[in-house]
Chain A
Amino acid sequence: MSLATLTKDWAATSYGFLDASAKRELRRKMLKAIAVPGCQMPYASREVPMARGWGTGGLQVTLTLVNPNSVVKVIDQGADDGVNAASIRRFISRVSGASETWDTLEATIVQSRHRVPEEIMRENQVLVLQVPNPEPLRGVEPNISIARQMHADADYGKLWLTLYEQIVRKGRIMQGAAYPSMVNGRHVMTPSPIPRWDVPKLNMSKHLTILSAGREKRLYAVPPYTRVEPLVFSDRPYLVEDHAALTCRRSGVSGFFMNELPQDGGGSVFEVSDSNLGIKAIDCADGAPDAIGDTWYRNGEFSA
């Protein structure tokens, strides 16, 4: 036995870029986060070769989960070909040897910024959401120490009050994306700035969702089959974006979350936000077999 047989060849970085101690910490924090759904777990959040705020939290989780057999999909605003999504996906495959995909059904890990794909995810898939601000209480309590205490006490009165005030002032809850939601009946989390359209997809889902904020050094999780309930008053229903009746001008699909494209001379046209769903629909219209899996929404209604 020699040193050479006991050690690996020198490499500039470890497998998957992060070194073993960083991955160990992340695994422990992920397990803790799964054990206490919706509760924010602080972690060291190492620097990665990408600017903070550009998906470094999601990236650290993905780099910890990834192995050479992984199939990785990365989306930004629903699109696989967004410049930052492309950059992250390329980095992950380069440092891990994992394969890349645009297809939600093929992926084992889906890292996403601001969207949950429209096709239903399965038990053997993990959704990693990039989170800019993990603290649902930030708007009512910018001080993190006080906010932590409020979570510990399940003291969400101020949050309810802001929602109530919106109804009084505007006639409806004005919260756009990042709708505060109660996880497992205990912790309020921000589901990251996904549209309201996507929040029901996290409720009692088959897949594991890990939400990670690299800059703010916090991660939290929604384990499979866990309740995720948007904060609503009993006489005020939860309203998703009014996109049920919109049709994608390119793929012809309707009843999904859309991107609005303003037109010269006024008015707008719409394109489906889940870009690969649109591609599948176009391919299908061109004669390819229908590759679209079951979707959470059917005919614009949440039905999963």
Chain B
Amino acid sequence: MAYVATRGGEKAIEQAERLFRQDLGTIDAARVETIRATMPYLIDRVMGEASLYDEELAALALAQTGGELSEAVLVLRAWRTTQPRLAIARPVQQHELLTQRRISAAFKDIPGGQILGPTLDYSHRVLATDVLEGKPFTAPAVDLADQPAPARQPSLADWQRQQGLVAPSEASNVAPQDIPDLTREPLLFPASRAHRLQSLARAETGGVLALGYAAQRGYGNAHPTVNELRLAEAEVVVRHPRGTEFSAGRVRVSQAEVTSKEKGGYLELGFAATFGWNEVKVIAAATLDLNSAEAPVGSAVHEEFYLYHTESVEASGFCIHFKLPHYVTFQSILDAMRDAKAKKAAAEAAGDVYVAEPEEEPVI
């Protein structure tokens, strides 16, 4: 039974996993809660990429993977996909969002006003090293405005439509159960807009940033102007079987609308939205959406290219799969290479110019 000696593999993989988990120590509810409470933007990023809005589960995923982001997203998605779809929420309208931050770079001021909300945009990015010297950092309290901004803000694009700057949009009358769902259907090309935006919503932040940035830098044909960027909370309105509509809770969402230039007498708009507050992702994603229409096939700003390559679970999985043994395929390549070399060497030794000779008649 000499062959079975290599069976140590099963034991080795078990011990390797134990080693990883041992390094992380005991994971308890307190650790999960600390991660949830102190890392909201990280939680948001993970929830967005997993397309699963559950802060506690996202924190648990981060805790048990030690913050290995692609692993955290994978465990959340693998959990999510086993869960039933209980209801389909009513589509969210921009003017219904409970808006905490809303800015436009297209106008100095906009109907409803520019609301800065929480941001580090204008902060000096200085590391608070005092904390390590034993001086806890507590930010000064926020001074309340004389008049609180309204919780709901109109859509800037609606104003632009009234002014004839943006093409009129028609309300789509798709029955809720007929709304495409990328998590239950394959992505096909050309992608429906619903699939494109869903795919961007769950795309890997870094990947979207890289390709969106490439488009912004000049590999796309449209330089984005941020028409409207929002961080908000959305009510998840579902219908009770008896017909009553009610809010099952609120989710944090981000959305970006970017515009570029005139096309057919109107400003073009690119759009993106995702679970959680993740501004860089939605601006980059909206830029990709904006550039899609005229993107050359095969370019980095063409939807097939950027949607496939920003899929977090697929990209990271394929990348790490190269650690698996490939010796059979490698052997197959070696065989062809050695044979070609041998033929060439034999021909040259015989003083011939090497010309591939037909061999015997095919067997298949």
Contact = CB atoms under 8 A, between A and B. Distances in A.
Interface of A: 12-14, 17-19, 21-22, 25, 42-54, 56, 76-79, 81-84, 86-87, 90, 113-115, 132, 142-146, 167-168, 170-178, 193-197, 200, 203, 215, 217-218, 229-230, 232-239, 241-243, 250-251, 257-260, 273, 275, 278-279, 282-283, 286
Interface string B169-191: 00000000000000111111110
B137 interface: no
A172 B329 contact: no
B30 interface: no
Contact of B189 (A12, A115, A144, A170): A144
Contact of A237 (B84, B328, B360): B360
B317 A82 contact: no
A110 to B, nearest CB: 15
Given A77-B327, A81-B4, A193-B332, 19 more contacts: A19-B82, A21-B184, A52-B313, A52-B314, A76-B324, A81-B6, A113-B324, A168-B356, A171-B343, A171-B354, A178-B329, A200-B364, A234-B362, A235-B359, A239-B336, A239-B339, A242-B335, A259-B328, A275-B3
B192 to A, nearest CB: 13
A45 to B, nearest CB: 7
A273 B9 contact: no
B120 interface: no
Given A47-B74, A51-B74, A236 B358 contact: yes
B128 interface: no
Closest 9 CB pairs of A and B: A52-B317, A53-B321, A171-B356, A176-B333, A42-B186, A176-B332, A51-B317, A53-B318, A47-B77
Given A47-B77, A217-B186, A283-B1, A235 B13 contact: no
A13 to B, nearest CB: 5
Q: Is the interface of B mostly helix, strand, loop or mixed?
A: helix
A250 B359 contact: no
Contacts of B185: 44
Given A82-B9, A279-B3, A48 B78 contact: yes
Contacts, number: 205
Given A77-B327, A142-B298, A242-B339, A83 B321 contact: no
B356 A172 contact: yes
Given A19-B84, A43-B186, A217-B186, A260 B331 contact: yes
A203 B364 CA distance: 10
B301 to A, nearest CB: 14
B325 interface: yes
Given A52-B318, A142-B298, A250-B3, A232 B335 contact: no
Interface string B30-72: 0000000000000000000000000000000000000000000
Nearest to A53: B321
B133 interface: no
